[in-house]
Amino acid sequence: MLVQFYNVSKIYPKGKALDDISLKIDRGEFVFLMGPSGAGKSTIIKMMFREEEPTRGQIFIADRSLVRMKRNDVPKVRRNMGIVFQDFKLLERKTVYENVAFAMEVVGASQRNIKARVPEVLSMVGLRGKDNSFPGELSGGEQQRVGIARALANQPLLLIADEPTGNLDIDNSMEILNLLIDINRKGTTIIMATHDRELVKAAQKRVVLLEKGKVAADYAPGEYVI
């Protein structure tokens, strides 16, 4: 199992965000986190890369407990994950190439590896030839492709995306979804939070439905038809 949540609760001073969540995700899966606003999708995602810690319960990533983990070991776990954001979080002053290279630089990759890997991921997301463009010169869909390329740069086991299509129109959203499905087919596990029913229906993947901080339903691939 790649991701395991055991009876995880998250209580903020204002109230419960997650209430006794248990969840397992295997290597190679593609899982949608669905649910209305405030259901707890982002909270789950933040816990996976340990931006937040649970109030109660246990979380394991690749059989390592995030709860008992020492501070020094957190970067090691994060290096196995790629994160994609709704608002892309690209660095405006860096080119497309530099934005992707940045992810490798900051984990200490050699310049030689960077030079080999960046063009590889850029063509994987269909952005060959845009190396020297700045994010401001790209469409939203293209910007998110840069975001995905950056998340893939360090060859993560797990790609986590919190509403990656939230800022995109339906055509661009479909393209991003197909890109993610493609990446998943090559072996990367993907967890994606979204509101978009059309997208989820089209993908025919596992869907975890959250409501008020609880798992309301867990649909196997193809089961989610509503």
Ligand X SMILES: Nc1ncnc2c1ncn2[C@@H]1O[C@H](COP(=O)(O)OP(=O)(O)OP(=O)(O)O)[C@@H](O)[C@H]1O
- Residue 17 interacting with ligand X (CB under 6 A): yes
Q: Cα dist. 100→63, 173, 214, 225, 226 in Å?
A: 29, 21, 36, 37, 38
DSSP H helices in 53-169: 74-78, 96-105, 111-124, 140-152
Tokens of 172: 């661009």
d(CA 139, CA 116): 26
Instruction: Report the nearest approach of ligand X to the CB of residue 41 (Å).
Output: 4
Stretch that binds other proteins, among 57-65, 67-75, 173-181, 209-217 (CB under 8 A): 67-75
Classified as helix, coil or strand, 201 is helix
- Residue 116 interacting with other proteins (CB under 8 A): no
- Residue 42 interacting with Mg ion (CB under 5 A): yes
Q: CB neighbours (10 Å) of residue 15?
A: 9
Within 26-85, the residues that bind ligand X by CB under 6 A are 35, 37-43
Nearer to Mg ion (CB atom), residue 34 or residue 66: 34
- Residue 43 interacting with Mg ion (CB under 5 A): no
- Residue 197 interacting with ligand X (CB under 6 A): no
Nearer to ligand X (CB atom), residue 37 or residue 72: 37
Classified as helix, coil or strand, 187 is coil
Whether residue 176 contacts residue 205, with contact meaning beta carbons closer than 8 Å, is answered with no
Tokens of 184: 């998943």
- Residue 117 interacting with other proteins (CB under 8 A): no
Q: What track of x and - describes contact with other proteins for positions 19 through 58 (by CB under 8 A)?
A: ------------------------------x-x-------
Within 111-130, the residues that bind ligand X by CB under 6 A are none
Q: Which residues bind Mg ion (CB under 5 A)?
A: 42
Residue ranges binding ligand X (CB under 6 A): 12, 14, 17, 35, 37-43
